[in-house]
Structures are given as C-alpha cells and as structure tokens.
Amino acid sequence: MTISISCSPQGNTDDEFAEQERPNYTVNLSVTSSTDDEGETITSTTCTAVSYSYYNASDGIEGSSVDITNQLTLTSGVNTCTITGTFIDPFSDTFTYVERGSSNKIQTPSTVVGVSNMPTGKEYYELDQDTRNYVIISFSISVVTDSSSANLTATMQVNNEWEGIRSFVDTYYD
C-alpha cells in the first residue's frame, strides 16, 4: 500500500506547492492524501509542523531550520488539511537608522533586523540586504488510515525577489 499527497496550488511535483515571491508571505494551501489500496480508508490528514531553511546561491542550506508552525492556521481533515495565514518575513535585511532630522554624528544609531521591525518615520542610512536566494518551507504531513500511517513532507519555495526590498525602500518615505 502506498500513501501519497498532492498539494494545491501545485508546483513542479505532487508534493510541492507553487513557488512564491518575496514579499508575498500569505498562504492558502491544501494537501490532499490518497492511498492506492482500494480496501483502505484514510481517517485523517494533518499538518503537524511548518519550518523553513535558507538556501544560498549554490543551493546549499545555511544555518538551522526555523519553526513557523505557530504563525499559521493548520486545519486537519479526513482526506485534506489546509494551511492558511501570513508568516513573518524570513529574510533578514538589517537597517541602521536615527531619528528624523538627526545623523549618526549626533545620535547613537539603532539597528533592526527585518522589514517588519523597521519603525516608521526614521532616517535610515544603511541597509544590509539579505542576499540569500530563497527559503524552502517544509510542511510535515501525517496521514492515518485504518491500518497504518505515513509521515510525508510537502514543500514550498519562497524566492528572495529583489523587487520586495526595492519596493519597501521606494515607499518607506511616502
């Protein structure tokens, strides 16, 4: 007996979701399970954990994975589970800033990591942009049947599209 999953919206394979581009961190995903044994019934399909790993220009993993399970809503079902919500920007751009009208010559600068942590109304004068190519988000899927279970993984790639940080910089002072 083989238990399998299919993702929607589907990427290149059944167990991949379609890729997303930075700064789109909102997901509305579903995973449908199936079995090739006609006498077997699936009793539950559950997403049990969600994490991501960074990848560099050589497609190598950088650092350890980051758990984002609590940032999304995971809903179990019989043959389908859904994953919805918005996760925090995984890319680590570093901004250095001072109060508006000041400079680093008269005020000690502050530094934050992440677009979501950059306060409004500041004078930022240095941006150390995260240049990692993409993150792969891994969704741990548990499928239970009448007589067995399987732990499978679905994935989704989020590309570090340079337009994401460019548009933030372009609209910051608007």
Residue 50 CB: number of other CB atoms within 10 A? 23
Q: What is the pLDDT of residue 167?
A: 86
Q: Tell me whether residue 114 is in a domain.
A: no
Q: Does residue 18 lie within any of the structural domains?
A: yes
- Check pLDDT > 80 for residue 44: yes
Residue 154 sits in which domain range?
Answer: 3-89+133-161
Nearest residue to 133 via CA among 164, 162, 163: 162
pLDDT in tens, 48-99: 999 999 988 788 888 889 999 999 999 999 999 999 999 999 998 999 999 9
- Read off the pTM: 0.88
**In sequence order, what are the beta bridge partners of 89?**
none
* Average pLDDT, rounded, for the chain: 94
Does the residue 166 lie in any domain?
no
Kindly state whether residue 22 falls inside one of the protein's structural domains.
yes
Bridge partner list, 94: 113, 128
pLDDT of residue 173: 87
Q: How many domains in the chain? A: 1
Strands of the chain, DSSP E: 3-8, 20-21, 26-35, 42-55, 61-67, 72-75, 80-86, 94-99, 110-113, 122-128, 134-145, 149-159
Q: What is the CATH number of the domain that holds 155?
A: 2.60.40.1220
* Lowest-confidence pick of 21-25, 43-47, 78-82, 142-146: 21-25
Locate 28 and state its tokens. 């509305």
Higher per-residue confidence, 16 vs 114 = 16
Say yes or no to pLDDT of 170 above 80: yes
Residue 47, domain member (yes or no): yes
Structural domain includes residue 71: yes
